[in-house]
Amino acid sequence: MVSITRLRDDIQDEIQRQIDSLKYDIAVLRRDMKRRGGRAFRHNRSAGEEIVDFLRDYIEHGLPDMRRSARRIRRSARDHPFASTTAAALGLLAVGVAAALLLRR
């Protein structure tokens, strides 16, 4: 009888030791995940800021050209109203078709 009780106690002690070890491993993994998550957040935020800065510079450098093109289009629309209306309608139709195709998927 003594040996069965001792065996049961040994098994319970071993199971408790394994549970404690697993709890420790889980705590270590959680700490590591928090650390990695924080690093990933900072890295992604930095990458996002770089993209925004790049786009801002790109748009600022292209803005004068866009304004010149807009003035030319405005003059052309004023000089040729029928052609401008037709081109606008065709452009709108193309955008509608593209949107319909994209939304179908």
Contact between 80 and 87 under an 8 Å Cβ cutoff? The reply is: no
Task: Supply the pTM of this predicted model.
Answer: 0.41
> Which structure tokens are listed for 9?
């106690």
pLDDT along the chain (105 residues), means of 10: 79 91 92 85 86 86 84 84 84 87 80
8 A C-beta contact, residue 90 and residue 83: no
Q: What is the pLDDT of residue 2?
A: 63
What local confidence, expressed as pLDDT, does residue 43 receive? 85
Do residues 76 and 84 make contact, with C-beta atoms less than 8 angstroms apart? Answer: yes
